Amino acid sequence: MSDKRSVEAGAVSFGERLANSQVFAALFRDGMALVEETASYLDGPGRQESKKLERSAALVYATESMRLTTRLMQLASWLLLHRAVKEGEMTLAQASKEKAKVRLASCEPGDVQSIALLPQKLRELIARSVKLQAEVRRLDATMYAAPPVKVTASNPVERQLGLLRAAFESEA
């Protein structure tokens, strides 16, 4: 095998390296902690706070809490897929096929005026989830960016060797 082919065969995917990076580990840890924190809030204090809201604000609360949980479920799905890549349970190509089911751009929060009607803690969770969504989308775009176009510089010695091989092969 030529040196060029051995280098290509041993090439490491940037996306797989990124999935194994400290950046991903921190994002995974923060994302899953946010999922847990949100679930605890919505099942406990959030439920109590929602009962104290006026009818219009309660409707916004229901809508935004649903959007928040949907957003976090999509982000958790993406994070778990890429943790599987990190753990060697699947390849980046397999994760890429599965991630097609994940919607990183869905469930944007409602308008600012409606959000202002919500309890402070829920507004904070929504803002943190939107920030996490942006970070995951940025990492996703980096991991799945098209590989750079390979530019091969012509090697004059290689060209001459090729001409010599062609000349001697045609005489044999």
Q: What is the pLDDT of residue 18?
A: 66
Q: What span, in angstroms and rounded, lies between the C-alpha atoms of 89 and 95?
A: 10
Tokens for 136, please give them.
Answer: 């995951």
Tokens for 66, please give them.
Answer: 């649903």
Q: What span, in angstroms and rounded, lies between the C-alpha atoms of 70 and 111?
A: 17
Q: 64: phi > 0 → left, psi -120 to 50 → alpha, else beta; which?
A: alpha
Q: 111: phi > 0 → left, psi -120 to 50 → alpha, else beta; which?
A: beta
- Burial class of residue 79 (count of CB atoms within 10 Å of its CB; 0-12, 13-18, 19+): buried
Q: pTM above 0.85?
A: no
Q: What is the pLDDT of residue 6?
A: 36
Q: What is the pLDDT of residue 152?
A: 63
75 neighbors 133 (Cβ within 8 angstroms)? yes
**Where do the structural domains in the chain lie, given as residue ranges?**
11-171
Q: Which residue has the higher pLDDT, 18 or 47?
A: 47
For the domain covering 11-171, report its CATH number: 1.10.8.930
Of 113, 127, 139, nearest in space to 27 by CA: 139
Q: Which of 53-57, 115-119, 142-146 has the lowest mean pLDDT?
A: 142-146
Q: What is the pLDDT of residue 170?
A: 58
Judge whether residue 4 has pLDDT over 50. Answer: no
Q: Where are the alpha helices (DSSP H) in the chain?
A: 3-9, 14-19, 22-43, 45-51, 55-86, 92-99, 112-115, 120-143, 156-171
Tokens for 46, please give them.
Answer: 């959030």
Mean pLDDT along residues 13-42 = 85
Mean of the per-residue pLDDT values for the chain? 83
Mean pLDDT along residues 61-83 = 94
Q: What is the pLDDT of residue 5?
A: 38
Tokens for 49, please give them.
Answer: 């706070």
Share of the chain above pLDDT 70, in %: 80
